[in-house]
C-alpha cells in the first residue's frame, strides 16, 4: 500500500494525513540514524517482504479458527514492516540527497500494486472476508491508485489524500481490526443476501471489507469529479487565452496583408500615372 512522498522530478508533493505530525518526525529520526549500508532500494524490498509476510500470515489464518489465532499478530507485524520500508525509502533518499525521482516513483508504485494484490487476496483467503468481496475492494483500491498517478501527471502535484486518511491510517485500522478479531473471532453470518436464488452469508468481516470498498469507490468518484472540474476550468481559461492570442495574430496578419495590398495598389497607380504623363508629353 503506497505511502511514499516520491514524485517525478517536476512534481510537488502533498501528504496531509491525520498521522502526519507523528509520522514525519519518526521517519526523519529513522533516516538520521539509519546505518550507512542501508539504502532506499533495501528499504523498498524490506517493505515488499512485509506485505508478503502479511499475506502468508492471512493465508495461515484461513487454515484454522480466527479467534485466538496468533497469525493475526504476524499479519500486523507484516503491515508494520511494510510501513517502515515503504514510508522510509523516499525519506532516506531525500535526507541523504540521493534522490532518483523518476526511478523511485516508478518502482515504488509498481511494487505498491503487487502489495495491494497480495494483501487483499490474502484477506479473502483468510476467512475474514469473502474472496469475491476482497477482490472487489482490491479493484476499488487500484482505482484510487490509478487516480493518484493520473492526477500527478496532469497537475504536477502528487497528492496522497485530500481527506486526511491515507495508507498509514488504513494500515493502523487493519492492525486494530486484527487485534479485535484475535480476541473476538469473526462470528457467524449476521446478514444474508439472496442473488438469483442463491443465498450469500456475510460475516462482520465481509461487511467491513465491502464497506471499505464502497468508501474507496466513493472517494475515487469524488476525486475524479473534483479534479475533472478543476482541470476543465483551467483548460477553458487556457483555451480562451489561446483563442484570443490566435485572433490577435490573425488580425495582425490581416492588417499586414491589407497594408501590403495597399502599397501594391499605390505602386501600380503611381506607375499608371507616370505612363499617362509620358504619353501626354
Cα–Cα distance measured from residue 194 to residue 189, given in angstroms and rounded to the nearest whole number: 13
The model's confidence at residue 70, banded by pLDDT at 50, 70 and 90, is: very high
Per-domain boundaries in the chain? 12-236
CA–CA separation, 11 vs 224, rounded Å? Answer: 19
DSSP 59-99: HHHTTS-STT-THHHHHHHHHHHHHHHHHHHHHHHHHTT--
Helix (H) or strand (E) holding 233: helix 204-280
Instruction: Give the pLDDT mean for 186-193.
Output: 67
Residues in Cβ contact with 250 at an 8 Å cutoff, skipping those fewer than 6 apart: none
Q: Quick one: pLDDT at residue 196?
A: 65
Identify the burial level of 133 via C-beta atoms within 10 angstroms of its C-beta, where 0-12 means exposed, 13-18 middle and 19 or more buried: buried
The lowest-confidence range among 45-59, 104-118, 155-169 is 155-169
Q: Which CATH number fits domain 12-236: 3.30.70.890, 3.40.50.1110, 1.20.120.1760, 3.90.230.10?
A: 1.20.120.1760
CB 101 within 8 A of CB 7: yes
Cα gap 74→263, rounded to integer Å: 88
Q: How much is the mean pLDDT over the chain?
A: 86
3-state secondary structure of 164: coil
d(CA 228, CA 267): 57
3-state secondary structure of 202: strand
37 dihedral zone (left: phi>0; alpha: psi -120 to 50; beta): alpha
Per-residue pLDDT tens over the stretch 201-250: 788 889 999 999 999 999 999 999 999 999 999 888 888 888 888 888 88
Instruction: Determine the straight-line distance between the first and last CA of the chain, rounded to whole angstroms.
Output: 98
Burial class of 44 by CB neighbour count within 10 A (0 to 12, 13 to 18, 19+): buried
* Orientation of helix 131-155 relative to helix 101-126, angle to 10°: 160
Are the beta carbons of 81 and 47 closer than 8 angstroms?
Answer: yes
Whether the pLDDT of residue 191 is over 70: the answer is no
pLDDT (tens digit per residue) in 73-132: 999 999 999 999 998 998 999 899 988 888 988 898 899 999 999 999 999 999 999 999
pLDDT at 4: 43
**Alpha carbons within 13 A on the beta-carbon side of 229:** 5
Amino acid at each position: 500500500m503506497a505511502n511514499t512522498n516520491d514524485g517525478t522530478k517536476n512534481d510537488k508533493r502533498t501528504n496531509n494525513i491525520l498521522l502526519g505530525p507523528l509520522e514525519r518526525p519518526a521517519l526523519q529520526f529513522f533516516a538520521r540514524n539509519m546505518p550507512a549500508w542501508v539504502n532506499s532500494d533495501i528499504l523498498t524490498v524490506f517493505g515488499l517482504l512485509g506485505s508478503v509476510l502479511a499475506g502468508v500470515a492471512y493465508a495461515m489464518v484461513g487454515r484454522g479458527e480466527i479467534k485466538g489465532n496468533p497469525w493475526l499478530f504476524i499479519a500486523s507485524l507484516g503491515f508494520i514492516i511494510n510501513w517502515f520500508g515503504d514510508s522510509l525509502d523516499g525519506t532516506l533518499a531525500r535526507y541523504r540527497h540521493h534522490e532518483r525521482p523518476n526511478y523511485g516513483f516508478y518502482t515504488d508504485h509498481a511494487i505498491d500494486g503487487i502489495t495491494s494484490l497480495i494483501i487483499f487476496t490474502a484477506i479473502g483467503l483468510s476467512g475474514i472476508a469473502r474472496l469475491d468481496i476482497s477482490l472487489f475492494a482490491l479493484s476499488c483500491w487500484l482505482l484510487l491508485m490509478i487516480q493518484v498517478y493520473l492526477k500527478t501527471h496532469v497537475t504536477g502535484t502528487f497528492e496522497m489524500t485530500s481527506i486526511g486518511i491515507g495508507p498509514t491510517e488504513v494500515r493502523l485500522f487493519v492492525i486494530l481490526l486484527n487485534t479485535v478479531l484475535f480476541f473476538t473471532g469473526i462470528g457467524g453470518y449476521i446478514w444474508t443476501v439472496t442473488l438469483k436464488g442463491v443465498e450469500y452469508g456475510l460475516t462482520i468481516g465481509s461487511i467491513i471489507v465491502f464497506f471499505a470498498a464502497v468508501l474507496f469507490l466513493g472517494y475515487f468518484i469524488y476525486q475524479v469529479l473534483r479534479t475533472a472540474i478543476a482541470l476543465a476550468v483551467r483548460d477553458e481559461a487556457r483555451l480562451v487565452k489561446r483563442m484570443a492570442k490566435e485572433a490577435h495574430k490573425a488580425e495582425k496578419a490581416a492588417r499586414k496583408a491589407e497594408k501590403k495590398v495597399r502599397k501594391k495598389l499605390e505602386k501600380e497607380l503611381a506607375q499608371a500615372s507616370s505612363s499617362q504623363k509620358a504619353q501626354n508629353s
